[in-house]
Amino acid sequence: MKDCGTPEGGAYDLAVIGAGSAGFSAAITAAEAGARVALIGDGTIGGTCVNLGCVPSKALIRAVEGLHHARAVKRFDGVEAEGRVTDWAATVAQKQALVDELRAAKYADVLPRHENVDYIEGCARFDEQGRLTVDGATFPAAKIVIATGSRPHVPAIPGIEEIDALDSTSALELTALPASLLVLGAGYIGVELAQLFARAGVIVTLVSRRGVLPEAEPEISEALERYLADEGIRLARITGYESVARDGSTVRLTGTGGESFGAERLLLATGRVPNSDDLNLGAAGIETDARGGIVVDAQMRTVNPNVWAAGDVTGRDQFVYMAAYGAKLAARNAVAGEARAYDNGTMPWVVFSDPQVAGVGLSEARARADGREVITAVLPLDAVPRALAARDTRGLIKLVAEAGSKRLLGAQILAPEGADSIQTAAMALKAGLTYEDLGDTIMPYLTTVEGLKLAAQTFEKDVAALSCCAG
Q: Superfamily assignment of 349-462 in CATH?
A: FAD/NAD-linked reductase, C-terminal dimerisation domain (3.30.390.30)
Cβ–Cβ < 8 Å for 353, 195: yes
What pLDDT score does 249 carry? 93
Q: Residue 132 contacts by C-beta under 8 Å, 6 or more apart in sequence? A: 15, 17, 124, 125, 126, 138, 139, 140, 141, 144
**Per CATH, the architecture of 12-50+93-152+273-336 is what?**
3-Layer(bba) Sandwich (3.50)
> What's the pTM?
0.93
Q: How would you write the pLDDT of the chain (471 residues) with one tens digit per residue?
A: 444 456 655 689 999 999 999 999 999 999 999 999 999 999 888 888 888 789 999 999 999 999 999 999 999 999 999 999 999 999 999 999 999 899 988 888 898 999 999 999 999 999 999 999 999 999 999 999 999 999 999 999 999 999 999 999 999 999 999 999 999 999 999 999 999 999 999 999 999 999 999 999 999 999 999 999 999 999 999 999 999 999 899 999 999 999 999 999 999 999 999 999 999 999 999 999 999 999 999 999 999 999 999 999 999 999 999 999 999 999 999 999 999 999 999 999 999 999 999 999 999 999 999 999 999 999 999 999 999 999 999 999 999 999 999 999 999 999 998 999 999 999 999 999 999 999 999 999 999 999 999 999 999 988 877 766 655
pLDDT value for 406: 98
120 is in an annotated binding site: no
pLDDT at 6: 60
What pLDDT, on a 0 to 100 scale, did the predictor assign at position 134? 97
In the prediction, which pLDDT does 48 show?
83
220 is in an annotated binding site: no
| Model pLDDT, residue 2 | 47
Long-range contacts of 106-111 (CB under 8 A, 24+ apart): 106/46, 106/50, 107/19, 107/24, 107/45, 107/46, 107/50, 108/45, 108/46, 110/24, 110/28, 111/39
Domain ranges (residues) in the chain: 12-50+93-152+273-336, 160-270, 349-462
Tell me if 464 is assigned to a ligand binding site.
no
185 annotated to a ligand binding site: yes
Please tell me whether 393 is known to bind a ligand. no
pLDDT tens per residue, range 340-384: 999 999 999 999 999 999 999 999 999 999 999 999 999 999 999
CATH assignment of 160-270, among 3.30.590.10, 3.40.50.1400, 3.40.1280.10, 3.50.50.60: 3.50.50.60
* 312 is annotated as contributing to ligand binding: yes
Q: Are 330 and 347 in contact (CB under 8 A)?
A: no
Q: Is 296 annotated as a binding residue?
A: no
293: DSSP letter: P
Q: Is 294 annotated as a binding residue?
A: no
**Radius of gyration of the chain from its Cα atoms, rounded to whole angstroms:** 24
Q: What distance in Å separates the CA atoms of residue 10 and residue 260, rounded to the nearest whole number?
A: 62
Kindly report, residue by residue over 189-199, the tens digit of the pLDDT: 999 999 999 99
- The continuous run of DSSP H or E covering 358 comes out as strand 356-361
The answer to whether the annotation marks 392 as part of a ligand binding site is: no
Torsion-angle region of 155 (φ positive above 0: left; ψ -120 to 50: alpha; else: beta): beta
149 labeled part of a ligand binding site: yes
Q: Is 197 left (phi over 0), alpha (psi -120 to 50) or beta?
A: alpha
Q: What is the DSSP string of 8-35?
A: TTSSEEEEEE--SHHHHHHHHHHHHTT-
Domain 12-50+93-152+273-336 and domain 160-270 have a common topology: yes
- DSSP assignment of 377-408: EEEEGGGSHHHHHTT----EEEEEEETTT-BE
Q: What confidence score (pLDDT) does residue 50 get?
A: 82
Bridge partners (DSSP) of residue 327 are none
